[in-house]
């Protein structure tokens, strides 16, 4: 743990942030990060500007171009004497054990795994552990935070990897982070410390190993250096420059007096007090208090009976309630669509407007704006706008898994200006060139309205989704699996 006294020393990042915070006493600096390239750049540049500490908390860290580039930057920071702590959920991490252990071998880097598997390799051993401990292993840490020198924090929906930074050649996620300065960053620090010190965060060096092959730190360094050199010509790396960190701190920061970071208790992953999710409670409270509008963005949207009733009630009282989620063709987790599909008709009957993002974003201006590496996209943003004033950005999906099983994190910001900024993005996402609007026909069936090549098109079944995928979803709708979605 970084000593509190160390946080008082002056650094380049300290000085820049301190001047900003002192000019806005009692307020938190906030900036939305919808652009994948900028979100990547902020992480890299803040790591380069760090002089004391970097804390990383994430659900997924891909072993791809941007994932390795970030690892390389953390290694270089550690070489400068920066204390680096990495807290990674263990669900998808075991294939990276060798690399993570090599990082952990650096005297300035510590890696911990959240709720780890005891077995690290072998499908038979893994199956045996799942059979013994499946209830426990089903609870994951979905939180994401990036904290530099205890001064600047980034939190939201992004994991670390190409598809989250709009750099994939296949499918890219439309995602959202928020940069935080001042008191809100302090709150992120406290939440990271709470997770870092909990019993479920286990040093990777303590985990039982069944393999003898090791990756020496020198091998990892050479591998990461080679990967970073190979990425030098990519757009993401070419746009990095030494003065970018200062530019980011000067651009469009909104200072707010009401910013609240909320995170579930890490003991939720033990199956304790699963019904008392702080993030869920905060979302429910804001929705109940809404009077004019509730706009929700959730890639995996399974509102359940209670959530559906709450949204229906608001709409029937005259509030403008809209939901933007993935279409069946766009979603990366088709099984979740089976839980969502049954709630569309009840929501539409009450006047809730439902939009489903298309999988192919053919609009050139959007393609350029998002810097997508391909023509396919999937929604990954988790956000809400309440009464044109309250904004939520976080890791929380509106589904049973986020509510009951996974640990989640989010930021509530009270700002009409920020709400207007996010509202513009929401409306762009709901544009008929980019999304389908669902319409309830007189006989109770659904239609998907769209704009294709300048013409209005209506579909009478899930658009652009193959028949096999549609059949699978229909079958899954009949199974009692909603609590796991």
Residues 6+ apart with CB under 8 A from 431: 451
Which residues, 6+ apart, have CB-to-CB distance to 16 below 8 Å? 245, 246, 249
Spatial distance between the Cα atoms of 378 and 359, rounded to a whole number of angstroms:
6
Give the residue among 240, 255, 299, 361 at the shortest CA–CA distance from 485.
299
Sorted by sequence, the CB contacts under 8 Å of residue 261 that are 6+ apart come out as: 155, 180, 184, 187, 188, 191, 409, 410, 411
Going along 200-252, which residue ranges are E strands?
Answer: 201-203
What is the b/e burial string over 448-484, where b = at least 16 CB atoms within 10 angstroms of the residue's CB? bbbbeeeeeeebeebbebeeeebebbeebeeeeebee
Kindly state the helix (H) or strand (E) to which residue 47 belongs, with its residue range: helix 36-49
3-class secondary-structure state, position 66 = helix
User: Which value, in Å, is the radius of gyration of the alpha carbons in the chain?
Assistant: 22
Per-residue exposure over 249-287, b if at least 16 CB sit within 10 Å of its own CB, e if not = beeebbbbeebebbbbbbebbbeeeeeebbbbebbeebb
Supply 45's token pair: 């540049």
DSSP state of 453: T
Question: 281-288: which pairs have CB atoms within 8 A and are 24 or more residues apart?
Answer: 282/392, 282/410, 282/412, 283/384, 283/392, 283/396, 283/398, 283/410, 284/310, 286/384, 286/386, 286/390, 286/392, 286/412, 287/311, 287/314, 287/386
The Cα–Cα gap between 95 and 423 comes to 39
The answer to whether 145 and 57 have CB atoms below 8 angstroms apart is: yes
Contacts of 247 (CB under 8 A, 6+ apart): none
What are residue 189's phi and psi, to 5 degrees?
-60, -45
In this structure, the dihedral spanned by the alpha carbons of residues 151, 152, 155 and 160, taken in order and rounded to 10 degrees, is -120
Beta strands in 158-200 (DSSP E): 171-174, 177-181
Listed in order, strand segments (DSSP E) in 198-240 are 201-203
Give the residue numbers marked as catalytic.
142, 144, 149, 380, 382, 387
Strands 83-89 and 109-114: parallel
């Amino acid at each position: 743990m970084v000593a509190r006294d160390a946080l008082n020393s002056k650094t380049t990042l300290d000085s820049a942030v301190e001047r900003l915070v002192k000019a806005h006493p009692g307020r938190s600096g906030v900036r939305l990060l919808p652009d994948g390239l900028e979100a990547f750049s902020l992480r890299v540049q803040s790591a380069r500007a760090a002089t004391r500490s970097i804390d990383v908390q994430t659900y997924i860290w891909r072993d791809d171009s941007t994932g390795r580039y970030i690892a390389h930057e953390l290694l270089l920071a550690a070489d400068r004497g920066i204390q680096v702590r990495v807290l990674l959920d263990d669900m998808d991490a075991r294939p990276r054990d060798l690399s993570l252990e090599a990082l952990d071998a650096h005297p300035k880097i510590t890696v911990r795994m959240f709720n780890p598997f005891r077995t690290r390799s072998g499908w038979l051993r893994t199956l045996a552990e799942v059979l013994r401990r499946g209830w426990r292993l089903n609870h994951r840490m979905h939180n994401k935070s990036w904290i530099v020198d205890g001064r600047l924090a980034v939190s939201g929906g992004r994991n670390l990897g190409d598809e989250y930074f709009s750099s994939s050649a296949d499918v890219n996620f439309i995602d959202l982070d928020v940069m935080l300065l001042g008191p809100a960053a302090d709150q992120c620090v406290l939440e990271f410390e709470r997770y870092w010190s909990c019993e479920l965060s286990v040093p990777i060096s303590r985990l039982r190993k069944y393999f003898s092959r090791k990756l020496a730190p020198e091998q990892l360094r050479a591998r990461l250096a080679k990967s970073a050199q190979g990425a030098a010509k990519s757009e993401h790396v070419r746009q990095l420059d030494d003065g970018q960190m200062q530019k980011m701190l000067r651009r469009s920061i909104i200072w707010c007096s009401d910013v609240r970071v909320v995170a579930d208790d890490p003991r939720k992953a033990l199956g304790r007090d699963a019904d008392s999710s702080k993030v869920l409670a905060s979302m429910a409270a804001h929705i109940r208090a809404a009077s004019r509008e509730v706009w929700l963005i959730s890639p995996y949207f399974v509102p359940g009976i209670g959530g559906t009733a709450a949204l229906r009630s608001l709409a029937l009282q005259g509030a403008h309630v809209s939901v933007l989620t993935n279409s069946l063709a766009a979603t990366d987790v088709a099984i979740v669509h089976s839980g969502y599909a049954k709630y569309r008709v009840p929501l539409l009957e009450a006047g809730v407007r439902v939009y489903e993002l298309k999988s192919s974003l053919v609009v050139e201006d959007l393609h350029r704006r998002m810097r997508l590496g391909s023509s396919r996209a999937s929604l990954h943003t988790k956000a809400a706008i309440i009464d044109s004033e309250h904004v939520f950005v976080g890791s929380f999906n509106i589904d049973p898994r986020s509510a009951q099983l996974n640990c989640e994190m989010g930021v509530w910001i009270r700002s009409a200006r920020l709400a207007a900024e996010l509202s513009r993005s929401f409306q762009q996402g709901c544009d008929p060139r980019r999304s389908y609007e669902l319409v309830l026909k007189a006989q109770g069936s659904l239609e998907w309205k769209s704009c294709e090549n300048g013409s209005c098109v209506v579909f009478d079944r899930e658009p652009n989704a193959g028949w096999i995928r549609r059949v699978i979803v229909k079958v899954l709708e009949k199974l009692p699996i909603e609590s796991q979605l």
